[in-house]
Amino acid sequence: MANTAEVTREQLAGGIRAMGVRPGDLLLVHSSLSSFGRMAGGAEAAARALVDAVRPDGTAFVPVFYWGDEPFDPETTPSHVGAITEAFRKLPGARRSLCPSHSVCGIGPAAAEMFAGHDRAHPFGEGSPLWRLLERNCHVLLIGCDHRSSSMIHVAEEKEGVRYLDRQRTVLVRTEDGARQVTLRRPGCSRGFGAVDAPMRAAGMISESAVGPSRLLLMKAHDLVETARAILKEDPAGLLCGLDDCEGCREARRMIGEA
Q: Which residues bind Zn ion (CB under 5 A)?
A: 189, 191, 241, 246, 249
Beta-sheet strand order (sheet of 95-96): 95-96, 104-107, 59-63, 26-31, 139-143, 214-220, 207-211
Q: Given the complex with Zn ion, which of 61 and 65 has the nearer CB atom? A: 65
Kindly report the length of the chain: 259
Residue of minimal CB distance from Zn ion? 189
For 153, phi then psi, to 5°, come to -65, -25
Min dist. Cβ of residue 6 to Zn ion (A):
36
Whether the CB-CB separation of 42 and 87 falls below 8 Å is answered with yes
41 CB-near residues (< 8 Å, 6+ apart): 8, 9, 48
- Residue by residue, DSSP assigns 133-151 as HHHTT-EEEEES--GGG-T
| Residue number with CB closer to Zn ion (36 or 164) | 164
For residue 185, the surrounding DSSP H or E stretch is: strand 178-185
Report in angstroms how near the CB of residue 237 gets to Zn ion at its nearest.
10
**Contacting residues for 228 by C-beta, under 8 A, at least 6 apart:** 153, 156, 157, 193, 195, 196, 239
Alpha carbon 97 to its chain's center: 13
- Report in angstroms how near the CB of residue 54 gets to Zn ion at its nearest: 33
Shorter beta-carbon distance to Zn ion: residue 115 or 164:
164
Whole-number CA gyration radius for the chain: 18
Let me know: does 79 contact 66? Beta carbons within 8 Å: yes
Residue closer to Zn ion (CB basis): 66 or 164? 164
Pick 94 or 240: Cβ nearer Zn ion = 240
Smallest distance from Zn ion to CB 188, Å: 7
- Minimal distance in Å, beta carbon 129 to Zn ion? 24
Minimum Å gap between C-beta 246 and Zn ion is 3
Distance of closest approach, residue 250 Cβ to Zn ion, in angstroms: 8
Choose between 194 and 213: whose C-beta lies nearer to Zn ion.
Answer: 194
Nearer to Zn ion, 72 or 164 (CB): 164
